[in-house]
Structure 1
Amino acid sequence: MTGVFSLLPEGRTGLLVPSLSEAGLPGGEDIDGYLAEGGYAPLVAPDRLLGRIAAAGLRGRGGAGFPAAVKLRTVRDAPGPRVIVANGEEGEPGSVKDRWLLRHRPHVVLDGLRLAAAVTGAGRGFVYLSDAEAERAVRRALAESAPELRIDVVRTEHTYVAGEETAVVRRVDGGPALPTAKPPRPFESGVGGAPTLVANVETLARIAVMYSRPDEADAVAGTHLVTLSGGGEGDAALVEVPVGAHLKVLADVCGHGRAEAVLLGGLFGGLYGEGWTDLPLDHDSLNAAGAALGCGALHFLHPDDCPVAVAVEAAAYLGAQSARQCGVCLSGTGAMTKALSAVASGEASHDTVAKLHRWSQQLPGRGACALLDAAARVVATLLAHFPDAVDAHCRSVCPACAGPAPEDGRRFTVTVP
């Protein structure tokens, strides 16, 4: 990897600590150093912190970008005992931000968990993860900080659906990490039946920094950790960037300046070709363009990368990662993968493409989680942004698409720095 670095203006507070990222300290941040930064300060006015979060417009970093203050307030106002879970399970193969935070900045995550618990009135907390190195760092940090709030660490298997909020609740309760039907949502009935806040670890980390640096709350809420990767000669990198940064700038900083397209949001945001360089990194702008920021993972496609091959691999990976609980998901991902494979091998007809169009419009929203939605968006954006490539594949075999489609997502996988 190129490494871990920040594109924030000089003097801005962020989550990337150069001394830690450059030294690659195996034990993560030091407790004394974190206390010197203002960490673990007593929370004397929970409502004031909630107001600060709302005023700064902090949005969740788990994928949906939901306003953090709304989630906090909803759990706070629920009756009875409440629970909070720091969700550090990254299902997207192209994202590394949450594991990096848990490995290298566990105290800022635990501090955010403590603060969010105080705001919501939660009496119990959990850190949910699958990464062994992250677990060791979190347990060390818990031993150093000895929080008053009871915090347990729950280990799960690493799968695409394991980080979905109802799967998180199910696993914390001792079951398999598989999504459940909704309603109820976790904020209504979560761990042990209690109202539960499932919060992404980056969201919690930003809450901690906003509390220790109140004058910079807007700046902290207005930056993202993004994972940049791609084929060709470019490198992968974890970068902290301000909201609104253009995707072309992000491509340039890690050697992907020749990229001709991008896969957004891990596998959830879709494939984008012409005009992608002008897209700004923020939820509203990307949603308006029919895209999604998701977990903040961007995979750049270079001139030698075939968008059809990328779509086939993405769909095949998602199909292999299906929880196999919803018939529509199992049959839908399978059908789309089979049809895309026919396109890639030059064996598709116009009827095949028509079916892909129809499925991409009819299948979203029909599964228990967003996996089926991700597969449908990959198909829909391939057809919308690369119609000439799809048409060419229907007429002849593409060398880049030769061979069976891999299911392991290796093309998109990034190593944690």
Structure 2
Amino acid sequence: MTRTHSLTRPGTPTVLGPAPGTTEDAGTYTATGGYGTATGAAELLELIATAGLRGRGGAGYPTAAKLRAVRDAGHQAGARPVVVANGEEGEPGSVKDRWLLRARPHLVLDGLARAAQITGADRGYVYLSDPTAGDRVRRALAERAPGLPVEVVETPHTYVAGEETAVVRRINGGPALPTAKPPRPHERGVGDAPTLVANVETLARIALIAARPDQRHRTARTTLVTLAGGAAEPLLAEVPYGQTLRSLAAAQGDAEPSGALMGGLFGGLIGPGRLGLVLDPDALAAAGTALGCGALRFLAPDECPVALASAALTHLAAESARQCGVCVAGTGAIREAVGALTTGTAAPDLADRLNRWSTSLPGRGACGLLDAAAGTAGSLLRAFPHLVRSHLDAPCPACAASAGGLTVAVPLVAGPAVPHQRTAPRSR
């Protein structure tokens, strides 16, 4: 079972909210300041900019810059933009977005409406694959409309379905597969209109900044993380930047992990000597890793990182959109090479090949899946070179015994007791 817990300072507005185990209804949300109108669009955009809020979908792009780009593209094209709440988290180790849509749909819808006001959008979408989350969002829309037409669009769950061009393609009636860039969605997206594709946690934090401008810096420097691995149960936690990775492992229940898989499958592996790194996008990037979507998978002391890397690469290869030949071939080759390490059947030149692929393949696919595979291989070589060498000589007992689990369950959220009345637009 996955737990929830806040590590924030008293008085900090939280995305987890006061009752994370129950879906928040419209009355409760409005009674605590939700859907307020005191903060205007221009003022809110400036507050977001000065707070330094970054996107929580993985790339960490400055939110204010993204909002301005969509607004300005709409002005230049003479078209009304579209806003999309992206709740399709493809990372198997992340649960925050599905939890948010299940537990606090009004917080997300409030943020979506604020983003629409800033960009000048006249319609919005909530994009997801989780049926329970879809049900909670439709119920919330039936309770209280957020001020613009909003449609729920469901998609089959895949690793690449949440990539922003895949989101646009699916809403436009096609498959949830990435497309070549440019154009990017902010230039031409849903129905060819400038489109904001924003992660649901990003939108939730926009709503919190609108409700508590005085706490905007704390809101922007606090984030949801999914902590898993080791012997402890997974934990969805809300934490301020500056916490060490070691302290997060302790909060989950792991006394001293032997490393971690960072940022879902995008930040790569780190060894035990780097658990003193602090949770901060810039600090982690400078150290050669990434916060990504906030999913951290800790290694138990007796767990082999080669087996964990192999499980990650097997997942990525299976989830390839199979649109780019270089991705199909590259992820497959990396998967086979690291898989051979786990069985002690790797060729002597394996480390050289992995190193070459880790530097030559990133940036060559239509999305980030190939980058994640290449980054995982490169990080294994950097963080655990001695283990790579030892796996060339003989099969590893720890690899043979590894279950290789990557998936985390969403924390339980009890639904509201009110009858369900579907008055919102039906999903496509």
TM range, smaller chain: over 0.9
Alpha carbons 1:65, 1:294 under 8 Å: kept? yes
2:64 pairs with one of 51, 65, 69: 69
CA root-mean-square deviation: 1.3
Alpha carbons 2:227, 2:237 under 8 Å: kept? yes
Pairing 1:327–2:325 present = yes
The SS at the match of 2:333 is helix
Q: How does 1:172-183 map to 2 (within 5 A)?
A: 172-183=171-182
Pairing 1:163–2:162 present = yes
Structure 1 stretches of at least 4 aligned residues deviating more than 4 Å after TM superposition: none
Cα deviation for residue 301 of structure 1 reads 0.2
Partner of 1:16: 16
Cα deviation for residue 5 of structure 1 reads 1.0
The SS at the match of 1:395 is coil
Cα deviation for residue 43 of structure 1 reads 5.7
Partner of 2:392: 394
CA distance in 1, matches of 2:405, 2:90: 15
CA distance in 1, matches of 2:113, 2:227: 30
Alpha carbons 1:262, 1:276 under 8 Å: kept? no
1:271 aligned partner, one-letter code: L
Pairing 1:57–2:52 present = yes
Partner of 1:415: 409
The SS at the match of 1:350 is coil
* 1:339-366 deviation digits (Å, cap 9, x = unpaired): 1111111111331221111001100000
CA distance in 2, matches of 1:74, 1:43: 24
Alpha carbons 1:71, 1:197 under 8 Å: kept? yes
2:217 aligned partner, one-letter code: D
CA distance in 2, matches of 1:185, 1:178: 14
Q: How does 1:248-397 map to 2 (within 5 A)?
A: 248-397=246-395
Partner of 1:4: 4
CA distance in 2, matches of 1:17, 1:50: 23
Alpha carbons 2:228, 2:297 under 8 Å: kept? yes
Cα deviation for residue 275 of structure 1 reads 2.1
Cα deviation for residue 15 of structure 1 reads 0.9
CA distance in 1, matches of 2:341, 2:225: 32
* 1:39-96 deviation digits (Å, cap 9, x = unpaired): 1112662111000000000000000000000000000111212101000000000000
Pairing 1:189–2:183 present = no
Cα deviation for residue 374 of structure 1 reads 0.5
The SS at the match of 1:77 is helix
The SS at the match of 1:402 is helix
Partner of 2:130: 131
Alpha carbons 1:83, 1:123 under 8 Å: kept? yes
Alpha carbons 2:2, 2:409 under 8 Å: kept? no
Partner of 1:208: 207
The SS at the match of 2:233 is coil
The SS at the match of 2:381 is helix
CA distance in 2, matches of 1:402, 1:415: 25
| More off after superposition, 269-278 vs 97-106 | 269-278
CA distance in 2, matches of 1:327, 1:402: 31
Cα deviation for residue 148 of structure 1 reads 2.8
Cα deviation for residue 171 of structure 1 reads 0.3
Alpha carbons 1:2, 1:254 under 8 Å: kept? no
State the identity %.
Answer: 60
CA distance in 1, matches of 2:2, 2:268: 25
Q: Which runs of 5+ in 2 are unaligned?
A: 412-428
CA distance in 2, matches of 1:183, 1:83: 18
Alpha carbons 1:166, 1:179 under 8 Å: kept? yes
Partner of 2:97: 98
TM-score (norm 1): 0.96
The SS at the match of 2:35 is coil
